[in-house]
Structure 1
Amino acid sequence: MDSKTSRSEGRGVARRDVTESLRELGIQLAQLNRRVSGRLGLRDVDMDCLDLINRLGPIGPGVLARTAGLHPATVTGILDRLERDGWIVRERAPEDRRAVLVRALPQRGGEVFQQFAGMNGAVREICSDYDAEQLRVIAEFLERVAEAGRAATAVLEQQQN
C-alpha cells in the first residue's frame, strides 16, 4: 500500500469518526434539551421555538414557523402556551401596526440559562484546551455542518411537497 492510499484510508476513517461523533452529539444534546424542557414545564418543540425567539427575536410568527420548519397553526399553539406561561410576549411591530412580533421575556431567560449551566461550564472547560485559531476552525466546521443540515432539511421538505 502506498502512502497516498494510506492517507486516503486514514482520512476516510477520520471522516467516519467525525460523522459518528456528530450523531452522538445530536443524541446527547436532544436528551439534554428534553430534560431541560421537562424541568421547565415545556414541550421539546416549545423549547426549540423559545430558543429561536431568544436568538433571532423579536421575530414574526411566520418567520418563526419557517425557521423552525413548523406549520403556522402549530406555531400559533406553541406561542399561545409560551405566552400563557410567561415566556414570551406578542407585540405590534413598530413599523407596521398590523404585524405582530414575538419577544422573549428576559426575566425568564435566567431559568433556562441555569438549567444549561453545567453544559455551558463543560464547554468552556473543553474550549480552554484549544487556542483561538483552533476554536475558529471548530466554529467554522460546526457552522458548515449546521448549514448542511439546513440544506438537507430543505431538500426533504421540497420532496415532500
Structure 2
Amino acid sequence: MSSVQDGARWRRQQIRAVKEALRDLNIQLSLLNRQFGARVELKDADWDCLDLINRQGPLSPSALARVAGLHPATLTGVLDRLQRGGWIVRERDPDATDRRAVTVRARRERNAELYRLFSGMNAQMDQLCEDYTDAELELIADFLRRTTTAGNTATDELSSG
C-alpha cells in the first residue's frame, strides 16, 4: 500500500475518532446535565431553556421556542415549571405594540446555585485546559464553535425536511 493510501486511511481513522469522541462527550454531558437537573428539579428541556435565557438575555417566548427547537405549547409548560421553581420571571414588554407581549428573564440571583453545582466540572475543565498552549486552546475553541454551527445546520435541515 502506498504512503498516500496509508495517509488517507490514517486521516479517515482520525476523523472517525473525533466523531466518536464527540458522541462520547454528548452522552457524558447528558448524564451530567441529568444529575444536575435532578438536584435542582429541572427536566432536560427546562435546563436547556434556562441556559438559553441566561446566556442570550431576556427573550420573548416565541424567540425562545425557536432557538430551543420547541413547540410553543411545550415551551409554555417549560416556562410554567421554571417560573414555579423561581428560575425565571415573565414580564410585560413595555416596547411591544401588543400589550399581551411578554419577555422571559432569568432570575440571576439564583445563578449562584447553578455555579455551585457545576463547580466540580468547571474545576476539572480548568485543570484540563492547563495542559494546552494558548494556540491549542484557540484551535479547540474554534473547532467547538464550528461543530456547534454544523450541529445547528443539521438541526435546521432535519426540522425543515
TM-score bracket, shorter-length normalisation:
over 0.9
Separation in 1, partners of 2:156, 2:122: 30
Cα RMSD of the aligned pairs, angstroms, is: 1.1
What per-residue deviation string (whole Å, max 9, x for no partner) do you get for residues 75-97 of structure 1?
Answer: 11111111111100111224226
SS at match of 2:86: coil
* Structure 1 residue 7, shift from structure 2 partner: 1.2
Separation in 2, partners of 1:136, 1:142: 10
Deviates more, 1:96-105 or 1:143-152: 96-105
1:115 corresponds to which of 86, 107, 117: 117
**Which residue number corresponds to residue 129 of structure 2?**
127
Deviates more, 1:96-105 or 1:37-46: 96-105
**Which residue number corresponds to residue 95 of structure 1?**
95
Q: Segments of 4+ in structure 1 off by > 3 A? A: none
2:154 pairs with 1:136: no
Gaps of 5+ in 2: none
Separation in 2, partners of 1:52, 1:8: 40
Gaps of 5+ in 1: none
TM-score by length of 1: 0.95
**Which residue number corresponds to residue 7 of structure 2?**
7
Separation in 2, partners of 1:114, 1:134: 28
**Which residue number corresponds to residue 64 of structure 2?**
64
Paired-residue identity, %: 51
